Structure 1
Amino acid sequence: MTDEASAAPGRIVLLTASHRVAPGLLSWPAWQLLHAADAVLCADAGHPQLPYLREAGITVEHAAPTAQELVDACAGGRTVVVVPSSEGDGTDARLTDGLARLAGSGRVKMPDLELLPGSYDLPGARLLDLVQVMDRIRVECPWSSTQTHQGLAKYAIEEAYELVEAIEDGDADELREELGDVLLQVVFHARIAEERAAAEGDEDGGPFSIDDVAGTIVEKLIHRHPHVFGDETAETPDDVKTHWLRMKAVEKQRDSVTDGVPLGQPGLALAAKLAGRTRTARLDVPLPKGEGVGYELLALAVRAEEAGVDPEAALRAAARVYRDAIRTAEGHAV
C-alpha cells in the first residue's frame, strides 16, 4: 500500500432503517454498501436487522467504538458502516457528538461522513406507532387496562362533538388534535376486541383486531366506488351518490329504508336522516300530525333536508351566534 493510500481518511456511513418497516427490507443502495464495506459495526447485539444481514453473508461486528476509534478504523481508505442501535439508548448520540467534536477541532483528518437511509417510512407508518402505544398502555395503565366498549362509548360521542366544533372553528391545529382523539377511540375499541379473541380463542367472527377494522373499510370503499376501482363511470357527485346507495343496498339487503338509522343521534339529525331516506326511496309519506314543538321541529328538519341544509349544523351555527350575544351582554369580548 502506498503512503498516499495509507493516509487516505476513508469513509464512515451511518445506515439507518425505519423500525416501522419489516427488518431485512433494505434499499438496493444499502445492500450494495453493506456488501462492499470493509467493516460493519453494530453496538446492539439484539438489533432486528442482524439476522437478515448475516443471512445475506455480511459479517457484523458487535462493537461500540468511540469516535476516535472509528476514525482510526477508516485509515487507509477503508469504508466502515455503522448500524445504529434500535433501542435509542444514547450510544449513537455519543458517537455522532464525538465525531462532531473531532471534526470541529481541526486537528484530525476526518473520513467522509455519510448518512444513508436503508428504508423509509411509508404513508401511514405512524399509525403503527399508535397501535404499539395502545398495546402498551392497555397492559400497563391502571385506567386503560380496565376499560370496556360500554365504558368508552360516551367518550366516542364527546370526541365526535369536539371534532365537529374544531371543524366549525376552522382551527387546523385543533382539528388535527381532535382527529387524533377520534382515531384513538377506534384503536382503543379494536384493542379491547382483540383481547376477547385471545381470551376466548375465537378465530371465526366476533373478536377482531385493528387490521380487521381497516380491512373491512377498505373492502367497503372499493366495493362502493366502482367508478374508481371498476368499470362504472361517474361524472358528478350525484352519480357517485347513486353508485354508493346502490352498492350499499346490495350489501345490506335491508327490509326498510329506516334500517340502520341510529335512533340515538340528535333529534334534528335523526329527522333529517329519515327524511333523506324517504326522499331517496321516492316514498310519499305525509308528516305525522300533532301539536307541540316536537312536530314543528320535525317539519323544519324535513324542510331543511329538502333544501339541502343540514338542520343540526344550521342550529349549531345559530346557537353559536346566540352564545356570542350572551357573552356580549355579560360584557365579555367575543
Structure 2
Amino acid sequence: MNETETTPPADSADAPAGRVILLTSSHRVAPGLLSWPAWQALHGADAVLCADASHPQLPYLREAGVRVEQAAPGAQELVDACAGGRTVLVVATAEGDRELTDGLARLAGSGRVAMPDLELLPGSYDLPGARLLDLVQVMDRIRGECPWSSQQTHKGLAKYAIEEAYELVEAIEEGDREELREELGDVLLQVVFHARIAEEASGEPGDEPFSIDDVAGGIVEKLIHRHPHVFGDDSADTPEDVKAHWLRTKAEEKQRTSVTEGIPLGQPGLALAAKLASRVRTAGLEVEVPQGEGVGYELLALALRAEAAGVDPEAALRAAARAYRDAVRAAEGADA
C-alpha cells in the first residue's frame, strides 16, 4: 500500500468530523419516558434515524416534534452523514444495533477515516425490579407456546412449589449464596407461573381471573396495612413492637374464631406442632398437652419443648439429619 492510499486528503483532515449519538432506552420502561439529556439531544440533532419502523419510541418522538427518518445506515454512511460537523442521532433498536457499532469500531481502528465523535446516550434506565417484567413476558410466551407449560394447572404444579420451597430452605441452611440466588428464582417462577394460569378463567362460578399485578397489589396493600409504624402514625421501637402490630392487624383482618385457623395441616408434623404451640403461647392460652403412647406423642412433646425454647424443631432435625448423612458417607468411605 502506498502513502497516498493510507493518508487522508489534507482538506478532509481540517473538516469537522461531526458527532454520532447512539440513543438507547430500556424496553422495561414505558415508551416516551426519556431523560432530559435524551430529549435535548433529540431536539438538537441535525438528523434522527431509526431502522425499526415499529420502534415503541417513535410515536412519542413524533408527538414531541422530533422528525425521525426511517433508515438503517452502514457505518461508512453514518460517518459520511456527519460530514461538515453535523450531529446524527440513531435511535437504537431492541437488538442494540450491534452490526452498526461493530462497523464503526472497525472504521475507527483502521486509522484511515476521520471519525466523528461517538457517544452512547442512555435515554432511560431500569428501575429496581424492572427485570421482573422480563420474567412476566417470558412466562406469558411459554404459557402460550410450550406444549407442556400450556397444559399445566394449579393442582398439577402444587408439588413443584413445595419442592422449590424445600430447596430454598436447604440453600439457606447450607449458606450457599449462589444456590440461594438460583432457588429464589425457582420459587419466584412458581409465583409467576400460577399467576399466569390464574389469568385464564375456568368458566366455573366464582373462579374469576386475576393477574400477577393483582397478586403484587394485594401483598403491597397488606404490607402497608400491617406496618403502620412505617407507613402510618404508629411507632415501633423494637422487633417485639413490630410483631405486636403485625398480630393485631392480622387478627383484625382475619376475624378468626380460633387461633388454629389458617394453620395448614399439610405441613411437616414438627413444623405443625411448633406453629400450634406458637399460636397458643401468643394468645396466652393454658392448654393441656394430650398424653398418649407412641412415638407421635413423644415427638409432639419434643416439638413443644423446642418451640418454648425458641428452637425451630424442623431446622434442628434437618441439622441432625445432615450430621447423620455425613456419618453415613464416612462409613461408606471406611468400607470402600
**TM-score category, normalised to shorter length:** over 0.9
Counterpart in the other structure of 1:84: 92
What's the counterpart of residue 138 of structure 1?
143
The Cα of 1:207 is off from its aligned counterpart by 2.0
Partner SS, residue 246 of structure 1: helix
Q: Which runs of 4+ in 1 moved over 4 A?
A: 3-6, 199-202
Asked if the contact 1:6/1:77 (under 8 Å) is kept, the reply is no
Paired letter, 1:20: R
What SS does structure 2 have at the residue aligned with 1:57? coil
Equivalence map 1:174-185=2 (5 Å): 174-185=179-190
The SS at the match of 1:40 is strand
Partner amino acid for 2:171?
A
- Residues matched between the structures, number: 325
Corresponding residue number in structure 1 for 2:170: 165
SS at match of 1:331: helix
- Residues 66 and 95, structure 1, Cα contact 8 Å, conserved in 2: yes
Structure 1 residues without counterparts, runs of 5 or longer: none
Question: TM (normalized to structure 2)?
Answer: 0.94
- Indicate the residue corresponding to 2:4 in structure 1: none
1:230-309 → structure 2 map (5 Å cutoff): 230-309=232-311
TM-score, with structure 1 as normaliser: 0.94
Between the aligned partners of 2:193 and 2:89, the Cα distance in structure 1 is 41
CA change 1:200–1:35 in 2 (3 A) is farther
Matching of residue 150 in structure 1 with residue 158 in structure 2? no
Candidates 29, 47, 51, aligned match of 1:43: 51
- Tell me what 1:53 maps to: 61
Instruction: Establish whether residue 113 from structure 1 lines up as the match of residue 118 from structure 2.
Output: yes
Counterparts in 2 of 1:6 and 1:54: CA distance versus 1, 3 Å = farther
Q: Contact (CA 8 Å) 2:20, 2:117: kept in 1 or not?
A: yes
Task: Report deviation, 1:21.
Answer: 0.4
> Unpaired segments of 5 or more residues in structure 2?
1-10
Q: Which amino acid aligns with 2:69?
A: E
Distance in 2 (alpha carbons) for counterparts of 1:201 and 1:40: 53
Instruction: Identify the range of structure 1 (103-112 vs 6-15) with the bigger mean alpha-carbon deviation.
Output: 6-15
- Are the counterparts in 2 of residues 5 and 77 from structure 1 also a CA contact under 8 Å? no
Shift of 1:6: 8.2
Superimposed CA distance per residue, residues 249-286 of structure 1 (whole angstroms, 9 cap, x where no aligned partner): 00000010000000000000000000000010000001
Q: Is the 8 A contact 1:42 1:85 kept in 2?
A: yes
Tell me if the contact between 1:12 and 1:111 (Cα under 8 Å) persists in the aligned partners.
yes
Distance 2:307 2:149 in 1: 41
